[in-house]
Amino acid sequence: MKMDSDLLHSPAVGLTEEEEADMNDWKLPLTFMKKRHLEKIEGSKALAQTWRMKDRMKTVSVALVLCLNVGVDPPDVVKTSPCARLECWIDPLSMSPQKALETIGANLQKQYENWQPRARYKQSLDPTVDEVKKLCTSLRRNAKEERVLFHYNGHGVPRPTVNGEIWVFNKNYTQYIPLSIYDLQTWMGSPSIFVYDCSNAGIIVKSFKQFALQREQELEVAAINPSHPLAQMPLPPSMKNCIQLAACEANELLPMNPDLPADLFTSCLTTPIKIALRWFCMQKSAKLVPGVTLDLIEKIPGRLNDRRTPLGELNWIFTAITDTIAWNVLPRDLFQKLFRQDLLVASLFRNFLLAERIMRSYNCTPVSSPRLPPTYMHAMWQAWDLAVDICLSQLPTIIEEGTAFRVSTSPFFAEQLTAFQVWLTMGVENRNPPEQLPIVLQVLLSQVHRLRALDLLGLFLDLGPWAVSLALSVGIFPYVLKLLQSSARELRPLLVFIWAKILAVDSSCQADLVKDNGHKYFLSVLADSYMPAEHRTMAVFILAVIVNNYNTGQEACLQGNLIANCLEQLSDPHPLLRQWVAICLGRIWQNFEPARWCGVRDSAHEKLYTLLSDPIPEVRCAAVFALGTFVGNSAERTDHSTTIDHNVAMMLAQLINDGSPVVRKELVVALSHLVVQYESNFCTVALQFIEEEKNYAVPSPANTAEPGNMTPVRDSPAIPRLRSVNSYTNIRAVTTARNLNKSLQNLNLNEEGGPAALSPGNLSTSSSASSTLGSPDNDEYILSFETIDKMRRVSSYSSLNSLIGVSFNSVYTQIWRVLLHLAADPFPEVSDLAMKVLNSIAYKATMNARPQRILDSGSLTQSAPASPTSKGTHIHQAGGSPPMPSTSSSSLTNEVPKPPVREQPATRPPYTPTLGGQAPHSHQFPRTRKMFDKGPEQAAEDGEEPGGHRNYVSLALQTGLCDWSAKYFAQPVMKIPEEHDLESQVRMERQWRFLRNARVRRQSRVITQKGISRLDDQIFINRNPGVPSVVKFHPFNSCIAVADKDSICFWDWEKGERLDYFYNGNPRYTRITAMEYLNGHDCSLLLTATDDGALRVWKNFADQKNPEMVTAWQGLSDMLPTTRGQPSSSTHSLARRVSIYLDRSKQGGAGMVVDWEQETGLLMTSGDVRVIRIWDTDREMKVQDIPTGADSCVTSLSSDSQRSLIVAGLGDGSVRVFDRRMGPSECRVMTYREHGAWVVKAHLQKETDGNIISVSVNGDVRFFEPRTPDSINVLQTVKGLTALDIHPQANLFACGSMNQFIAVYNANGDVISNIKYYDGFMGQRIGAISCLAFHPYWPHLAVGSNDYYMSIYSAEKRLR
């Protein structure tokens, strides 16, 4: 034991190295962990925006009905003495009754005019019933649909009755006459607002509601019964949108305190500041402000509507406070209706809040309908009291000093902004909205605080879409729209930020901006080179929203010189700016001809080409999008525009092997625009390919009758090309390998319920994701994947130049080839899109070309669907017709469904084209149509020929890239990302993983430093679902990945249990030949390489989630499995079938080999090709092709990033060393030719002076020093090696041979273990070794053999 502890503590050097290694975990870059890999590329769900007032209203007419009868008190109210006298601040007893009445009327009108100067006011003083009727009906008539206000002062008449009547007079004032609220409703109509200032006013509100209900019931009766008297009358408007304000509850009297006005309620509603100040002085606390009297209050200088004067400022603070209280207490929709819809109503309701506060202090409860929650105790009133207090305490000084009254402004707004700032900086994420939001809005009006308010508003909007919605519901929109007219430079960054946030959440604001010329503001920001790139990015994002599908916006921005502005910034160093400039260009000329021609004049397309090789995939995407809409919209086709389109198409075609699926998806969409534009040309090309495919049998394992499996190929099921990532991630392990393969093969193309869906072998999961794909009616494709794949190979490898008609290298043929290539893309979403485009054209081409032949063709009689009993062998690859009896894949033309003449199976609607839901226009054209003629008159009437289609396609095919990119602006930009937040869960998990990594490194080093004397202790054995072909240990956890031909199984070797098994998605004539863990130190991903050159990256494996494909791309393009050397394809496929363990040099090739460098993010790939291709996973693009200079395949790769060296072992026995810093001609720095045969493994040790170790099939192990031409050491091991691995830490290597044993050697070439039998299992002999691998740290060796078994051997048990 002591020895262990010594070992642990002895070499101090070792520990520092180790600490360094642990620190390095933090520095190692992560690959494929960007947003585009982690989330679905789609826009955010649009929040339903309720802030926009659908119906702004105005109160246009006001009826002021005063029943005062000055001098005569009504009989049912006993007044105190003294009593409240003032009406509209006038003592009626101070002048003759008639004059008092008129003065009070005039005053009331003035008070209302402060709030709504434009309305028509009509006074009705001490009226009769008829006068009221005449007044109301005439006001309603003039107001039409707008709102009318009815103000009733009943201080000189009895209280309202329980029957719902108020009182007026008879002609000669000898009697009080009741006026029913029911009649009043009828005359006033709706919408209206009623103010009742009288005792027991609550009764009126109740009666009003009862009458409104009664009305609705009568109407319902009338609607059923036509003879009802109401049925013939025009419908009276609903009383629901009538608003009422009443001074007190049904059982309350108005206050009679002589210090108060008699019409206290009216005073609160119309002169709030005056009454609020008086009331403040009447409180006990007012004694704390010395020298303030009621007389002094009258003398506060200034005007209510001038915010720079003390009175105006008080009024402004009052508005802000009441608005804030309402916003915080009321439900949002009620707030919108009462406080944002109508200026007068909003003012009355703000003042109503004051009335509630003041009148409740006199035991009176004002009532409103709709009812408001109580607000009189709200904390914001304290802020009001403070503001009044400060104002009044300065009054004596102001008045003494006369006119020089510009005192220090109230600190109110600055303090409220501070409160808002505290909320922003201190709060947690999920909390109530900040109370001060409406105040921030008010502050935007003040020049003094505007900058700070905008800054805080920006911070608030940055919290996310919910914050933007809140701000819009408060009513921020008109304010920030108006501010765009300001020329202040310091506001620019803030306004651009705020508008970017608003438009990211609600893009419908584009119209408002253009209407108010707001777009010019952002055009000037974009053109301003002194603006930081972030702000120009936001400006161009805003402009991209303005021109998005909005013609007026496109025109406005085109005139504003947007295109030239954008083109200047295409090469900006800021990637997000480049991306949005390209998107903006793509949107301005989308279906907008003038902008396209403006772009042509500025050679925009040529300037965009540079972005096609941009290091950032999103920027490449945006450039493809822009070029796609550039070719996809021109109605008039001139020779000039056709040349441009061809030019753009050929530039786009170069992205066919881009490393990013996002870019390739955008590429398919861009090419689909072109296909729609030149439909007839593409139809011609399609027909020729289809013909050619029929006449040409491709020698490939997919369609040769193979010895040992002598069933004719027509019975073999269609390729298991699964339609979407989901569909093949759901395929968790099916019990046995046999079953799995069967079910995978049955996942054929007609997933939507064609005959195959009934066959028993099918997995139900296949159709889970497919419903979104395929044609509009979920029908099958015409071109099956197999056919397309074959066409692709035909087009690459046969002399198609002999085709008649189109010169074969025309642009259309090239683009068709590109689409064929994309239809076989390893990333399902890309291939699905490409399949749609190809099928839509194939459909049109075959429908147009031979409608006759299809009808007559005898073969179609067989096309009744197969019965469910056919065991799923006749899989209908397309259209439900049976495979043809030839050995080539059944040809296309026979598979085109007939026009709906034939009997359709009841379940399936007639086939409709995949792109474009209507019957194709091209039916109407003769096949030999000239390229630019308009087609028959019929089409000319439809507008331009492709028009109908084009719109459909551009709608049908979209990638969601632009909307997804826009999400960036809706999400918090200023928040610390989670991974940098030291307290976040993400960070804690990462820390835990790095500690685990350190532990594994430390403990394994202890063991390997002791030296390993034997390695034959079997710690794991299990039967794998398929023959293991590649095994890979996870560097730090107890997971091991085992690949068979096309699936991957994950085992936990400590617990001995299977974690996961899923299908890799490669076509069936390919196999997995290499695997790597990416980000093994952190969030692991698994990369698989198949021998057709495709790379796929998976996440969420080996845990409870479904494995998902992160990305996939064609790592090596010209590695089609058909090119593998042998002339006779049958022997070649036989050789491969027999097994992987045979001497590899006799087989087709090495497949694909890869080497991964985590620290640089580079992936080296090679195989049956003549180059080593280096991919940068960060940029997702190819960075270098190093020619190997040999005629044989590369069988093994090993690299060292420190020295920039790459070592490759080749099939001809040579080992070549390349320096990747040098040019293609001189980068091969060394070639060793000492091996006489196929190199099984070449390994470059990672130390600074590390050697090269290489081993050939013949078992000779050679050590080379990279600087010397000859080997420095040779060891001989067993002959007939099939697999070998070298332990990077422990200097061991293990060889597996076809003679069914494993030998483990140490660095001196001594055998430390020979393994021939399995433990247990009656000592069964090990099968032929198909693959083996060491753990990167532990002394563990995993071995896969041809009898399906997977075992792991370790050093002695106690050392583990």
The contacts of residue 366 (CB under 8 Å, 6+ apart) are: 245, 246, 247, 248, 265, 352, 355, 356, 359, 360
- Whether the per-residue pLDDT at 830 is higher than 90: the answer is yes
Per residue in 252-279, pLDDT tens? 999 999 999 999 999 999 999 999 999 9
Output the CA–CA distances (angstroms, integers) from residue 1274 to 540, 1179, 1252, 1262, 1263, in the order listed: 65, 41, 12, 5, 6
What's the sign of the alpha-carbon dihedral 1094, 1097, 1103, 1106? negative
* Tokens matching residue 412: 């109110």
Average pLDDT over residues 737-748: 34
Number of H helices, E strands in the chain: 43, 36
CA distance 1223 to 1270: 25
CA distance 529 to 1065: 49
The percent of the chain in helix, strand and coil, each rounded to the nearest 5, is: 45, 15, 40
Q: Is 210 left (phi over 0), alpha (psi -120 to 50) or beta?
A: alpha
Which of 64-68, 288-292, 312-316, 812-816 shows the lowest mean pLDDT across its residues? 288-292
Per residue in 330-378, pLDDT tens? 998 899 999 998 999 999 999 999 999 999 999 999 999 999 999 999 9
CA distance 940 to 931: 15
CB distance 1087 to 1075 below 8 Å:
yes
Q: What is the pLDDT of residue 290?
A: 74
Q: Could you tell me which of 1255, 1307, 1305 has the C-alpha nearest to residue 1281?
A: 1255
Q: Could you tell me which of 1118, 1112, 1052 has the C-alpha nearest to residue 1088?
A: 1112
Most confident range, picked from 298-307, 1017-1026, 1135-1144: 1017-1026
In degrees, to the nearest 5, what angle opens at C-alpha 1076 toward C-alphas 1073 and 1081?
170
For residue 148, list its beta bridge partners: 61, 192
Q: Could you tell me which of 302, 318, 268 has the C-alpha nearest to residue 442?
A: 318
Q: Hey, is 9 helix, strand or coil?
A: helix
- Whether the per-residue pLDDT at 1276 is higher than 90: the answer is no
- Whether the per-residue pLDDT at 949 is higher than 60: the answer is no
For residue 1302, list its beta bridge partners: 1296, 1315
* Confidence label for 430 from pLDDT (cuts 50, 70 and 90): confident
Residue with tokens 């070797």: 1053
Q: What is the DSSP string of 1154-1200?
A: EEEETTTTEEEEEESSSEEEEEETTTTEEEEEEE---SS-EEEEEEE
Length of the chain: 1360
Average pLDDT over residues 1236-1240: 89
Q: What is the pLDDT of residue 1317?
A: 77
* Confidence label for 697 from pLDDT (cuts 50, 70 and 90): low
CB distance 718 to 877 below 8 Å:
yes
Where is 790: in which H helix or E strand?
Answer: helix 785-797
Q: What is the pLDDT of residue 48?
A: 72
Q: What is the pLDDT of residue 45?
A: 76
User: What average pLDDT does the structure give for the chain?
Assistant: 80
* Tokens matching residue 704: 């040769």
Average pLDDT over residues 1247-1262: 89
Average pLDDT over residues 601-618: 95
Q: Could you tell me which of 1355, 1300, 1287 has the C-alpha nearest to residue 1326?
A: 1300
For residue 1020, list its beta bridge partners: 1352
C-alpha count within 13 angstroms, C-beta hemisphere, residue 1016: 17
CB distance 1047 to 1064 below 8 Å:
yes
Task: Report the 3 state secondary structure along 123-192.
Answer: EEECCCHHHHHHHHHHHHHHHCCCEEEEEEECCCCCCCECCCEEEEECCCCCCEEEEEHHHHHHHHCCCE
* Tokens matching residue 641: 């525009």
CB distance 1354 to 1312 below 8 Å:
no
CB distance 1285 to 1303 below 8 Å:
no
Per residue in 858-890, pLDDT tens? 333 333 333 333 333 333 333 333 333 333 333
Top pLDDT among 446 and 227 is at: 446
Q: How many CB atoms lie within 10 A of CB 20?
A: 9
Q: Is 507 exposed, middle or buried (0-12, 13-18, 19+ CB in 10 A)?
A: buried
Q: What is the pLDDT of residue 1343?
A: 93
Q: Could you tell me which of 32, 22, 35, 40 has the C-alpha nearest to residue 978?
A: 35
Average pLDDT over residues 184-191: 91
CB distance 994 to 1039 below 8 Å:
no
Q: Which residues of 598-614 are buried (b: 16+ CB within 10 A; e: fewer)?
A: bbbeeebbebbbebbeb
* Confidence label for 445 from pLDDT (cuts 50, 70 and 90): confident
pTM: 0.82
- Whether the per-residue pLDDT at 443 is higher than 50: the answer is yes
CA distance 31 to 1161: 6
Q: What is the pLDDT of residue 17?
A: 62
* Confidence label for 794 from pLDDT (cuts 50, 70 and 90): low
Q: What is the pLDDT of residue 724?
A: 35
Q: What is the pLDDT of residue 563?
A: 96
Per residue in 836-861, pLDDT tens? 999 999 888 888 775 443 333 333 33
Q: What is the pLDDT of residue 328?
A: 94
CA distance 107 to 502: 44
Q: What is the pLDDT of residue 1357?
A: 63
The contacts of residue 228 (CB under 8 Å, 6+ apart) are: 221, 222
Q: What percent of the chain stands above pLDDT 90?
A: 54
* Tokens matching residue 552: 């007026």
Q: What is the DSSP string of 509-529?
A: GHHHHHHTTHHHHHHHHHH-T
- Whether the per-residue pLDDT at 1084 is higher than 90: the answer is yes
Q: What is the pLDDT of residue 1228?
A: 92
Average pLDDT over residues 693-716: 44
Q: What is the pLDDT of residue 575?
A: 96
Rg (CA), the chain: 42
Top pLDDT among 1133 and 1047 is at: 1047
- Whether the per-residue pLDDT at 1069 is higher than 90: the answer is no
Output the CA–CA distances (angstroms, integers) from residue 525 to 444, 492, 493, 530, 545, in the order listed: 21, 7, 9, 9, 15
CA distance 465 to 967: 10
Top pLDDT among 770 and 1329 is at: 1329
Per residue in 1024-1056, pLDDT tens? 999 999 999 999 999 999 999 999 999 999 999
* Confidence label for 1125 from pLDDT (cuts 50, 70 and 90): very low
Q: What is the pLDDT of residue 228?
A: 67
Per residue in 134-183, pLDDT tens? 999 999 999 988 999 999 999 999 999 999 999 999 999 999 999 999 99
- Greatest Cα pair distance, the chain, in angstroms, is 133
Q: Hey, is 1101 helix, strand or coil?
A: coil
Per residue in 125-139, pLDDT tens? 999 999 999 999 999
- Whether the per-residue pLDDT at 737 is higher than 50: the answer is no
Q: Could you tell me which of 214, 195, 218 has the C-alpha nearest to residue 205?
A: 195
CB distance 206 to 250 below 8 Å:
yes
Per residue in 34-75, pLDDT tens? 989 988 888 877 777 778 877 788 999 999 999 999 989 898
